[in-house]
């Protein structure tokens, strides 16, 4: 007669000196250590971050991207100011800006146009100095 006990009975793994199976001992040992180890690791990381100096963003030093943006803005303002003056329509010129120093290069119909262009460039906000490489056109 069959009692159906084979469905409920599972043979135990081989025991060494009457102890629990080796696999279960290892799992239990790892589980019991994982919480304290994680706690100690979290405390160590927290202590390490607590000792770091406070970081403040540094302003961009001149001669970098910030200065290049400033120079480009100055160049644009100077070009717009000179080309919007009706007395300077026939001037052929270029504008270059380095460290807020504007260089005007090109030709003009008369010396009074050169003086006027230099005065306009000096009046633009942010310009430190103006270098003149403008010349009067010769026929």
Burial 30-61 (b: 16+ CB within 10 A, else e): eeeeeeeeeeeeeeeeeeeeeeeeeeeeeeee
In tens, the pLDDT along 57-88 reads 766 565 566 677 789 999 999 999 999 999 99
Q: What is the pTM of this model?
A: 0.53
Q: How is residue 85 written in tokens?
A: 């003056």
65-136 CATH, one of 1.10.260, 3.30.1380, 3.30.1340, 3.40.50:
3.30.1340
User: Where residue 6 falls among pLDDT bands split at 50, 70, 90?
Assistant: very low
Please report, for the chain, the start and end positions of each structural domain, with discontinuous segments joined by +.
Answer: 13-56, 65-136
């Amino acid at each position: 007669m069959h009692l159906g006990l084979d469905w409920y009975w599972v043979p135990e793994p081989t025991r060494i000196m009457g102890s629990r199976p080796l696999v279960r001992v290892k799992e239990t040992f790892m589980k019991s250590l994982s919480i304290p180890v994680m706690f100690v690791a979290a405390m160590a990381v927290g202590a390490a971050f607590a000792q770091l100096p406070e970081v403040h963003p540094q302003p961009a030093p001149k001669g970098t991207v910030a200065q290049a943006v400033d120079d480009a803005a100055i160049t644009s303002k100077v070009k717009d100011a000179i080309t919007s003056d009706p007395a300077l329509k026939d001037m052929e010129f270029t504008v270059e800006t380095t460290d807020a120093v504007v260089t005007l290069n090109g030709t003009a119909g008369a010396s009074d146009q050169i003086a006027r262009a230099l005065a306009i460039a000096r009046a633009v906000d942010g310009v430190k100095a103006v270098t003149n490489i403008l010349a009067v056109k010769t026929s």
